[in-house]
Amino acid sequence: MKRCRGNDMSDAKFEHCVREIVTSHAGRVEAFRHVGHGRFSQARIEWENEREKRALVADLDATEIPDADLERGGDERADGSPG
């Protein structure tokens, strides 16, 4: 992600980079959400399998991954720990 964005921290560049990375892993971007005037950005992504999910988390430099499939209903961080 850092390589794609460079010094451009705009919402548009974030969306461009996320789409590029997700598409390269056969995933699909469902939606974007920008919070705090660009301070935080989120993307809702569909992935094929756990291997692709792990690759996406790494390539996107993701820090928090809320997983709709988690039965416990909590958030999961990139390292797999509970949110």
Give the pLDDT of the chain (83 residues) as one tens digit per residue: 889 999 998 899 999 999 999 999 989 999 998 887 667 888 999 988 889 988 998 999 888 777 665 433 444 444 444 44
- 3-class secondary-structure state, position 43: strand
Given this model, what pLDDT does residue 63 score? 80
Given this model, what pLDDT does residue 38 score? 62
User: In this structure, is the dihedral angle defined by the CA atoms of residues 46, 47, 49 and 50, taken in order, positive or negative?
Assistant: negative
* Global pTM value: 0.73
Given this model, what pLDDT does residue 37 score? 66
